[in-house]
Each structure stands twice: as C-alpha cells, then as structure tokens.
Amino acid sequence: MTEFGAAIDLALGHAMVDDPKIVVFGEDTPLLRRELLVRFGPERVRPTPISESAFLGAAVGAALGGLRPVVEVQLVDFLMVGLSALVNEAAKIEAFSGGRWNVPIVVRATCGGGYGDAGQHEQALWGMLAGVPGLAVVVPSTPADAAGLMRASIENDGPVVFLEHKLLSRQWRDAMAGGRRESVTFDVPPDGADGPVLDPPPPVPLGSAIERRLGGDVTLISLGVGVHRCLSASEELGERGVECTVIDVRSVAPLDRAAIETAARRTGRVVAVDEDYTRGGLSGEIAAVVAEAGISARFARVTTEDTIPYARHLEDATLPNVDRIVSAVESLLD
C-alpha cells in the first residue's frame, strides 16, 4: 500500500530520473521534498521566496527555455496571487505562437477542505482554472491515480494544474489540520489516502474518466474526495434498492465528455457532486455536456454554495457530504 502523497513523489522521482530537464521549486520545497532534494541535488530541487507571481512567471519562462518545471504552490488559494502567469502567459503561448511553442509546466498545489481552516485555505477552485483554454486541471482521488496523473502531467506538453486534496495526503493533513492530534478527527476516505500503486506507476491519460461503480438508476459524477463521498452514498442508497453509477472524472480539463454522456444516457438521472463552487464551474459544465448531447436527463448538483466557514459544524454543512448526496439522488427519483 502506498500513501497518497508518497505516490505523487514516487511518480515525480521516476520522471526526474528519465528527464534531467525536470526541475522542482516552491516555498519550503527543500524540506517538503527532502527525499527528492537528497536524491537529485539542490540544483534541481530548490526553494523560492514567498513571491508567487515571480516564481510562477519564471516557471513559464524556464519552460520556454527548455526546462520542464514542476512548481509547488502550497495551497491552490495562494495560486491566486500568481494567476497571471498561468492565465495570461502559460495558457496562451501555444495558441499565440501558432502552435510553435509550448509551456510544459506542472503546478502542484493542495486543495480542498474538511478540517476547519476556512475559505481562504480550503478552496477547490479547479472550475475557474479549468475554464481557461490552454490549461489542464487534474484532481486525483486515489494514490494510483495521483501517481499516474502526475506522470501524465509531467509528460504533457502544455501547462497542467495538479491538485492534491489535503484530506488525502498525510503530509498536508498533518501540517494544515494538525492531524496528529488525538483530539481531532477528520472524515478521511481510507481508499483515497492509501492504496496499491505500481512501481513505476503507469501514466493515467489526462481527460480520461473512470467508472468507480456501476448501477442503473442514477449517475453520480465527481472527483477528488467527492468520489469517496459518492461511493458511501451509493452504499447507503444500494441498501434501499437504488443503484448508482459513480464516475470519477479525474480531470476537469480536458473533461471526458464521452464517459459522462454514456452514463447519463444509461441512467437518465445525473447528480454532479463537486466540492468547488456552484456557479461557473464543473457542475454546470456537466449539465451542459448532457444537454449538448441531446440527452434528456434529470439533473441535480451537490456543491459548495458559499464561502467555507471556519467552524467545523458549519463547514460540514457547506461542503458536499453523504447526506446531501443522498437527498439529491432522492430528489430525482419520485
């Protein structure tokens, strides 16, 4: 069994052996990625100042110059400080250069909530990033996918935002949530936190969804921690005779439209379960995919409506949870 965060570093380590042009940098990277630092040396694994706009912008330039940077931003919330480098530079250059130049960077960041840190440190934000043409955004839900998607992200010739959920990664759970306190508990999905990973990990192609459960009544479409919440809800619904398909999209952009269409057509009922904000994001996009394919299906979504509050009980009610998923499914049955 491999731990989620270790799976990512495993893939990164293999990629760095294969391609000396890969460099890794970010705030506190020398200690956070100390095994990679000791294995590959300080030239390839380096610290940055707290200067997100500069070091993300520098990653773009370094990629144009021939390197393949993997940049670590501790939280996706902090990525907002350096967004121009991604949205206005990295995402544009392949198109603007008429396809003659591309920007192979991976921005690795944590995301997600469920440990009481409030909405400036717990956002998902993958929807707004995925809305920009030229940016790929991936959100793994298992260690195997975390490794496989990291491998594919590094091999991709365009910019990829790779998001690891803090509830799944032990290192981040310990750091951000004080997870080693015995006085606190978090709803950590066991199959997301630890799982089998092949060594070396085979790449998981960007834009390929996977079916986690097959059932004929309702299709649940999710990613990251949401997938595990959907699986728990499906268990509960299964006991009442309601059979769910669970699709893990794994990648918000590119989005596997075919997988969504196939499942929606089969069940005629679709529930999007998205830890990101309701509006302008993945859940609406899923509805659009279904509608554009001419499928007549009933649709509901379980998302984050508001700013994520600090208090644990308020946070629990704000983030998608099993109860809300079950109610959403029930609302489509009658």
Ligand X SMILES: Cc1ncc(C[n+]2csc(CCOP(=O)(O)OP(=O)(O)O)c2C)c(N)n1
Binding region for another protein (CB under 8 A): 13, 16-17, 27-28, 30-32, 34-45, 47-54, 77-78, 81, 115-118, 120-121, 171, 174-178, 180-184, 307, 309-314
Question: Minimum CB separation from another protein for residue 4, in Å?
Answer: 16
Max intra-chain CA distance, the chain: 61
| Candidate list 21, 64, 78, 83; residue touching ligand X; CB under 6 A | 78
Query: Catalytic: which of 121, 165, 228, 313?
Result: 121
Using the contact rule CB under 6 A, the part of the chain among 7-15, 73-81, 135-143, 207-215 near ligand X is: 73-81
Give the sign of the dihedral formed by CA 32, CA 114, CA 3, CA 86: negative
308 Ramachandran zone, left/alpha/beta (phi>0; psi -120 to 50): beta
The strand pairing partners of 291, in sequence order, are none
Question: Minimum CB separation from another protein for residue 254, in Å?
Answer: 30
| Candidate list 27, 174, 243, 323; residue touching ligand X; CB under 6 A | 27
| Candidate list 14, 30, 58, 81; residue touching ligand X; CB under 6 A | 81
**Is 14 considered catalytic here?**
no
Site string for ligand X, 28-47 (x = CB under 6 A): --------------------
The smaller minimum CB distance to ligand X, of residues 82 and 226, is found at 82
Question: Minimum CB separation from another protein for residue 275, in Å?
Answer: 17
Six token digits for residue 7: 């799976």
The smaller minimum CB distance to another protein, of residues 14 and 298, is found at 14
Residue among 227, 152, 149 nearest 190 (CA) = 227
How is residue 81 annotated by DSSP? G
Residue among 54, 109, 121, 119 nearest 81 (CA) = 54
Question: Minimum CB separation from another protein for residue 312, in Å?
Answer: 6
Six token digits for residue 322: 């099993």
CA 122 from centre of chain = 13
Question: Minimum CB separation from ligand X for residue 252, in Å?
Answer: 23
The smaller minimum CB distance to ligand X, of residues 78 and 310, is found at 78
The smaller minimum CB distance to another protein, of residues 201 and 207, is found at 201
Instruction: Choose from another protein, ligand X, none: what does 240 bind? Cβ within 5-8 Å by kind.
Output: none
Calculate helix-pair angle for 170-177, 4-18, nearest 10 degrees.
120
Q: Which residues of 169-201 are buried (b: 16+ CB within 10 A; e: fewer)?
A: bbbbbebbbebeeeeeeeebbeebbbbebeeeb
CA dihedral 308→311→313→315, nearest 10 degrees, is: 10
Is 74 among the residues that bind ligand X (CB under 6 A)?
Answer: yes
Q: How far apart are CA 112 and CA 97, in angstroms?
A: 35
Question: Minimum CB separation from another protein for residue 38, in Å?
Answer: 4
Tell me the DSSP string of 234-252: HHHHHHTT--EEEEE--EE
Instruction: Choose from ligand X, another protein, none: what does 279 bind? Cβ within 5-8 Å by kind.
Output: none
| Candidate list 2, 3, 4, 52; residue touching ligand X; CB under 6 A | 52
Instruction: Choose from ligand X, another protein, none: what does 42 bind? Cβ within 5-8 Å by kind.
Output: another protein
The strand pairing partners of 25, in sequence order, are 46, 71
Using the contact rule CB under 6 A, the part of the chain among 74-82, 253-261, 279-287, 296-304 near ligand X is: 74-82
Site string for ligand X, 137-176 (x = CB under 6 A): ----------------------------------------
Radius of gyration, CA atoms only, the chain: 19
Question: Minimum CB separation from another protein for residue 334, in Å?
Answer: 36
Residue among 47, 79, 85 nearest 64 (CA) = 85
By CB under 6 A, name the binding residues for ligand X. Answer: 27, 50, 52, 74, 78, 81
Q: What are the catalytic residues?
A: 121
